[in-house]
Amino acid sequence: MKKIYLSVMAASLAVAAGAQQGMQQVTETKDAYEKVGQAPAVKSFHKTPFLNYTKASGDSIWSEDFNGAPGWNTGGAQDIWAFDTDGPNGQYSDPAEQIIESTTAGNGFMIYDADANQSPTPGGGFFDHVGWLETPVIDFTGYTNLTLIFQHTYRTCCAQGFEPQVEVSDDGFATSEVYGAGIPGVGVNDAAPTSITKVDLSDFIANASNLANVQIRFLFDGSGGTTHYFWQLDDVAIIESLNNDLILNDYFLASGALKIPYHQVPPEQLVDVEFSALIGNIGLDPQTSAALDVVADDGTNQDNVSSAGATINPDAVDSVVATTNWLPSGTPGTVYDLTLSANQAESEQEPSDNEQMDVFTITDSVYSVDNGNISGFISNFQGNSNQAFKIGNNMEIMEDTYITSMSVFVRDLADAETQEIYGEIQKFDGTDYIFEGSTDFYALQSSDLGTMVTLTFPTPIQVNAGDDILLLAGHNGSLDANIDDVAFGMAQAIPQGFVAGAASDGELAVLTDPSAIVVRANLNPNVSVNEINAEEAVIGQTFPNPFTNTTSIEYNLKNAGEVSYSVVDVAGKELMSKNEGTVAAGGHKITVDGSNLSTGVYYLNLNVAGKKVTRKLMVK
């Protein structure tokens, strides 16, 4: 895999994958049978009773809090919009954790529960979902500036991360103005927290011909490949547009040269954290001195950083970067609650979407990108189900240390028991990512499911300040379409470029719209000489295995050495052999051509710099 060059652009605040050399991008990444985990708890939602606005903050001309089933129209190929009180009830949903947290959720809400409308057996009847919910007719006569406001929560399907739509029409939807529903983090398999969306209707009003006949449609259009999960909706209102109304669209944490968003860091790896954000003006008036303010609170002390102020015009979005960075301090176990807010010189009239929250933890030895809040799981790439797969996060080492083991969160799925997983580290050498070491395969036990599983490297992996590594968790697939693959935990959404994985072809690819994989490096900077195995070679696992045509095995030489290998059948008969000769120090890969081998079990015997190992091969 070629290097992904990462940088935070002050103008766009987007993490860019620049100068990409032969890299793939994976957009349909999650297998169709992944179960949702706990909804993220890190993005805050402040409930505000916005159904009774005062004149100072915008009069409500129409509202609906769904206190009992409303007289709204429904339709579509899957006409399943329904009044609800207990949240999603599909096989991949958790109503206890994923019920909407709206202002009036207690008296009911509307739900499009596509998950509950599927076959109860994975793979036995999945289909795309399209359905809509329409308001009664609303009279907009006499108004020029109105805003639609509603509370909702949504989880995307694994096949694609589409954004639900809002359609506004004055002719019974013969024609309509279409708006995005404003879902925060609409990556594939992503779970959005309960949030407030505001839609400026002034352009629609200016072009409408019959303002007395307005209707609004909430459209779940999964026709491009969305089969399950849900959309929940509550507390819909039409208000007179606000004059002063900012929104914190997104925020970014960035550390080190690669600008990686770490959330769990041991003391020796701590470096400055840069905060940046995208702030939008959805009010009628320009907002002056608009800035990002960050408070890092460890329960005893507060650290504060802010950006410079800027004037943001109506309907504009501006990028802001804190003028100073934040250096976390404290002993292992220190937890910082991070509060990020958008503020301006004017008096904010609707602050519910001005603030978001996150966490940052100082650990004793754990080094990770994820923030600890499980948002879902990933088991494989689309089209690669039941085959070999590995996935992980890009990380930068700040100080010399050793990685002695790694931990990965494994989904609580009965099918995962007895399946094998492993960990792997690759290091960027200036051109490619090179194999550094792997753990042995570990067969999961029932007690491992739903927990962090620790995988130990036979030899501690030495990494140095400035090293760019990939920390990967992998499995060889269930090999059976009726048995789900092992699934690894995902946490908060992070910018593109920090998550990479490989399907059975072994080619690493970056994920678009990724969430951090819950895979963590366990560090020990004080490894003794006695703990370092003096062997000349570190040899990885065959990937993929089972395989049809070719499989590969990576190894790393401390010094130049002789390399050879042979493939034998179960009776010990040699079927092929090759002498690679003297191979230079560093990371290398052997590819075995099994296209002429019959289905069955074989053994790969390797002699790498005097180290002899045997790997079982399975040809399918």
The band of 228, judged by pLDDT with boundaries at 50, 70 and 90, is confident
Q: What is the CATH number of the domain that holds 599?
A: 2.60.40.1930
Residue 309 Cα distances to 254, 501, 609, angstroms: 21, 40, 61
**pLDDT the model gives residue 389:** 95
Tokens read off for 75 = 């339709």
User: Are 490 and 466 a contacting pair, CB within 8 Å?
Assistant: no
122 lies in the same domain as 204: yes
Q: How many angstroms separate the Cα of 528 from the Cα of each of 67, 525, 558?
A: 66, 9, 18
Residues 66 and 111 in one domain: yes
* Selection from 4-8, 96-100, 457-461 with the highest mean pLDDT: 457-461
Q: Could you read off the pLDDT of 525-557 as tens digits, one per residue?
A: 877 655 555 567 788 888 888 888 899 988 888
Per DSSP, the three-state class of 96 is helix
- Tokens representing 374? 């499980």
The residue-averaged pLDDT of 389-405 equals: 95
Q: What is the pLDDT of residue 43?
A: 30
286 and 408 belong to one structural domain? no
Whether residues 93 and 13 share a domain: the answer is no
Residues 42-96: tens digit of each pLDDT: 233 333 334 444 444 457 899 999 998 778 999 999 999 999 999 998 877 778 7
**Which of 159-163, 250-254, 499-503 has the lowest average pLDDT?**
159-163
Asked if 512 and 459 sit in the same domain, the reply is: yes
Total number of domains in the chain:
4
Segment 369-386 mean pLDDT: 87
Query: 406 and 466, same structural domain?
Result: yes
Compute the half-sphere exposure of residue 541: CA atoms within 13 Å on the CB side of its CA. Answer: 27
**Residue 329 in this model has a pLDDT that exceeds 90:** yes
Domain limit, last residue, from 340, 361, 382:
361
% the chain with pLDDT above 90: 57
208 lies in the same domain as 250? no
133 and 16 in one domain? no
Instruction: Choose between 496 and 152: higher pLDDT.
Output: 152
Same domain, yes or no, for 211 and 67?
yes
Q: How many CB atoms lie within 10 A of CB 440?
A: 12
- Choosing from 332, 361, 390, the residue where a domain stops is 361
pTM, rounded to two decimals: 0.78
Query: What is the CA 237 to chain-centroid distance, rounded?
Result: 31
Integer CA distances (angstroms), 27 to 13, 211, 337, 343, 495, in order: 21, 41, 32, 35, 14
pLDDT averaged over the chain?
85
Q: Which helix (H) or strand (E) holds 427?
A: strand 420-428
Q: Residues of the chain with pLDDT > 70: what percent?
A: 86
Assigned domain for 236 exists: yes
> Do 209 and 254 fall into the same domain?
no
Domain that holds residue 67: 59-240
Q: What number is the average pLDDT over the span 22-34?
A: 32
Contact between 231 and 111 (Cβ < 8 Å): yes
Same domain (yes/no): 173, 64 = yes
Q: What would the two tokens of residue 515 be?
A: 């969430």
Beta bridge partners of 613: 606
pLDDT interval class at 14 (50, 70, 90)? very low
Q: What is the DSSP letter of 322?
A: B
In a shared domain, residues 300 and 414: no
- Does any domain span residue 288? yes
| Spatial distance between the Cα atoms of 385 and 31, rounded to a whole number of angstroms | 6
Q: Per-residue pLDDT for 23 more than 50? A: no
Distance CA 113, CA 80 (A): 7
Per-residue confidence band for 39, with pLDDT thresholds at 50, 70 and 90: very low
CATH number of the domain bearing residue 251:
2.60.40.10
Helix (H) or strand (E) holding 202: helix 202-207
